[in-house]
Structure 1
């Protein structure tokens, strides 16, 4: 995992109580049992962690941790 993925994994583990061993860059949020409400909460948590905007609905159950990390990295580069 790269640094962004590691930070995201820490958020998933601490704020959402996902077992660290279940988290990999290929982990889809749906496979981690995230629903649409949890994804909104995750978006807010990632905004806090990374300081980038994430709109409601941008994170989906089919997205992987890697997909979300790429979204965050793209937003960081635009700042």
Structure 2
């Protein structure tokens, strides 16, 4: 598991009170119980935690944990 993936999982767990084992790469927003408002909250949480800004357009094009991790890695987030 990459550092970016671990950081994204931490955001899901902290923001949505999810079990870390549920936040697997193939999990979709639907699998995790995230509606469109939750997705916006996720983008805000990722910006605060990792310093990566995800636009509404980008958010509309992603649907799984692996998509988010790939976008975070592409944007070179400050993974901590």
Listed as ranges, the gaps of 5+ residues in structure 1 are: none
TM-score, L = length of structure 2: 0.83
Listed as ranges, the gaps of 5+ residues in structure 2 are: none
Kept after mapping to 1: 8 A contact 2:62/2:68:
no
Partners of 2:6 and 2:60 lie apart in 1 by 19
TM-score, L = length of structure 1: 0.84
Match of 2:36 in 1: 36
Shift of 1:28: 0.8
Match of 2:25 in 1: 25
Please give the per-residue CA displacement for 1:13-58, whole angstroms capped at 9, x wherever unaligned.
Answer: 1111011221111111111010000000000000111112111242
Q: CA RMSD in A?
A: 1.9
Aligned positions, number: 77
Q: Once superposed, which parts of structure 1, at least 4 consecutive aligned residues long, lie more than 2 Å away?
A: 56-62
Q: Which has the higher contact order (CA 8 A, sep 6+)?
A: 2
Match of 1:59 in 2: 59
